[in-house]
Structures are given as structure tokens and as C-alpha cells.
Amino acid sequence: MTRVFVSGCYDIVHAGHIQFFREARALGAHLTVSFASAEVLWLHKHRRSSLPDDHKRALIAALDMVDDVVVGNGVEEGIDFRDDFLRLRPDILAVTEDDKYGQLKRDLCAQVGARYVILPKTPPQFSPVSTTQIVKFIRAPEEAPLRVDFAGGWLDVPRFARPGAYVVNCAISPTVSLRDWPYERNAGLGGSGAWALLNGRDGVNSELDLGVGWQDPAIISETGLCVWRSGQRPELELKHNGEFLRGQLALYWTGVPHNTPDLAKLPRDYEAIARAAATARDAVWKSDLTLLADAVRQSYGNVQRKEGMAPLPGDPAATGAASTALPAGVKPLAWKYCGGGFGGYAVYLFSDQAQRDAACARPNFRPIEPYLAAR
């Protein structure tokens, strides 16, 4: 009888493990699975076990291709199963192609005359997943906010970062989830950052990998009204609850989606962006709506309109549907495109809730509120 031995953490048994066990069992007539004990997992992986050892042992033993289960208690990283391996003297030690402890395991096989067999990568029967990915997904929130940016957009993109400059943004509700997304898509509200967070991924790295900035996942994860220092990665200067904005924020849907990565190469006035962001920073420190509106006006008039973005409702230059989108008598304090602009949503600031609600009675306007997560 050819006896096969495999080892691993197997902290959360998933379909990829099942496929590996089946392929290993096919090498012989008996399969022993060794998993790292809770103590070993803590020692080498610096994380708690998902299940008590006796529960995990019973779970793996119940699999039809597994004949025996042992618990690795050794302190040697990669071969915590040494004592059981020398005791059982299996014929084959099977590993995957990406095993990091090949030489240690080959030396161990030599002590008992076992064959060291590397199982080739076969087409996965299931979508590949790792224990780390599963843990991150379990820990992911069920809902997340999106965000509006008031000033400093583009200064979160590493290649455009400026020492001494700022990015000012705010997490907003209604929130979104994997099943409920009450906003337009590709709309400049940081949706890709929220999607990464909801799926348990590192949102900052996900955005930087796209060649854009970190502000979306940073504020969506942090929540509140925040001032960030411009730089290679998010550095928080100030977090505010945003209460002075409650009842005074709205979004306007332009009807045109946009794609921020495609806009990154356009020429723009980064000095003007930095000046608007400095004003917005002062406004947050002072909880001053009027000063924040000034920063938003700077972002729109001195940056976005000069880049060629279409006039928004409230702008005297607006034409067509945009010129009549706001009801008579409603005069917003300020407005600007969210994200990269050239479409998507625009954020509006109003002097009071009555003005905001009157605007939101019209199509394409909707009320939003600052969002601060309870921690």
C-alpha cells in the first residue's frame, strides 16, 4: 500500500485544498493530512486559528479522500510535522509547485526513503482563493459609504503629489453594499474603492495599481470629513464628524459617466488645485461652511471649468437642461464635479436644508449626508 503524506496550515479548508487532497490521494492508496496546530499557526503565521484543533481535525477527517489526520506541533517552520512523518514513514510526500520549504522537506524524505513529489499545477476546478483572501472577505464590512471630494483631487495621485498640499473629502450616505448600490455607476464617487473594501481587498493598493490616487479608499475606510496630506500614500491630518454639513449636501447626476484613469493625462493647474485645498483645509479646521463653499467654488471655477468641463446647474453659463435643472429661488452656495469630472456626479452645498430639499425635489438631484462610522 503506497502511503501519501501532505501538510499545510489548512486554517480554512476551501475547494482548492479539496482538489489538492484528491490529486495527492491519487498517487497512492492512503492519504495522511497534517495541519499546523493553533500554537504553530500563531508562531509562524501570527494569526489565530479559525477553529480549535479538534474541530479542524474532525472536519478534515470527514473528507472522503482523507484516511488519517495528524496535527503538526513542531516548532520548525515548514516541517512542523517532522515527528509524525518520521513515525509514520510514508512512501510519498506530496507538495504543490509553490511550496516554500522544498529543501527542508527533501532532507526529511531522505531520512525515511520517501519520494518527494511536486504536483503540477492543473487547471483549477474552482476559482482560486487563499485562506488570507477568505479571512479578508469575512472581515469585510457589509456596507460602505461613497465619497465626495471638495478640493485637492489629483494631489492624491503619487506622481502629482505636492509637499505641503492637501486633499479634503467626505464619506457620504446612503451607503452601498454588494447587493444594493443606490447610485449611478462610473460616477466619480469612489465606487471602485468601496467595491474593493466590500470584497475584503486592500483598497489603497487596488487604486494605486490602476495608476490613480488613494483618496477614495482612504476616506471610504476612514469615514467622516477628512483632511489628508498630499503624498505617496494617505496620511491623515484631521478627521471631523462633518455635522456642520448635515442637511446641506446634494448630488447632481450629469447623465454622463466618466473614467478617471483616462483623465489623468490631461493638463491641469495643480497650483490652483493646491490653493483650493488649502482653503478647504482651513474650513474643516474651523467648521466653516462658507469657507468650504469658497474652496469648492475655486475647485470648480479655477480648475474644472478651465479644463473644459461643461457648466453645471447654477452656473450662469449653463445651457439646455442644466440651465433649468434648479428650481427658481434656489441658490446653492457652491458646486463642483466629483472625482475627475467631465461627467458623473457633482456635489452641491446649500445654505440650509430647505434650499437643499427644494433642489432635490427636481430630477437628477438627491440628498446626501456626511457619514461617520461607529467604531
pLDDT per residue rounded down to tens, the chain (375 residues): 899 999 998 888 888 889 999 999 999 999 999 999 999 988 887 778 888 999 999 999 999 999 999 999 998 989 999 999 999 999 999 999 888 899 999 999 999 999 999 998 776 666 666 666 666 666 657 899 999 999 999 999 999 999 999 999 999 999 999 899 999 988 999 998 888 888 887 767 766 666 678 999 999 999 999 999 999 999 999 999 999 999 999 999 999 998 777 787 888 999 999 999 999 999 999 999 999 999 999 999 999 999 999 999 999 999 999 999 999 999 999 999 998 899 999 999 999 999 999 999 999 999 999 999 986
Q: What is the DSSP letter of 106?
A: H
Would you say 270 and 302 are in contact if contact means Cβ atoms under 8 Å apart? no
Q: What is the DSSP letter of 362?
A: S
* Whole-angstrom distance, CA of residue 175 vs CA of residue 223: 11
**pLDDT number for residue 87:** 96
Count of CB atoms situated within 10 Å of the CB of 69 = 19
**pLDDT number for residue 53:** 93
Which CATH superfamily, name and number, covers 3-135?
A: HUPs (3.40.50.620)
**pLDDT number for residue 173:** 97
CA angle at 290 for the pair 285 and 296, rounded to the nearest 5°: 85
Spans of all domains in the chain: 3-135, 140-370
H or E element, residue 255: none
* Whole-angstrom distance, CA of residue 329 vs CA of residue 314: 11
140-370 to CATH, choices 3.40.50.2000, 3.30.230.120, 3.40.50.970, 3.10.20.30? 3.30.230.120
**pLDDT number for residue 149:** 97
**pLDDT number for residue 207:** 66
Q: Which residues pair with 1 in a beta bridge?
A: none
pTM recorded for the entire structure: 0.72
* Whole-angstrom distance, CA of residue 323 vs CA of residue 13: 59
Q: Which residues pair with 70 in a beta bridge?
A: 34
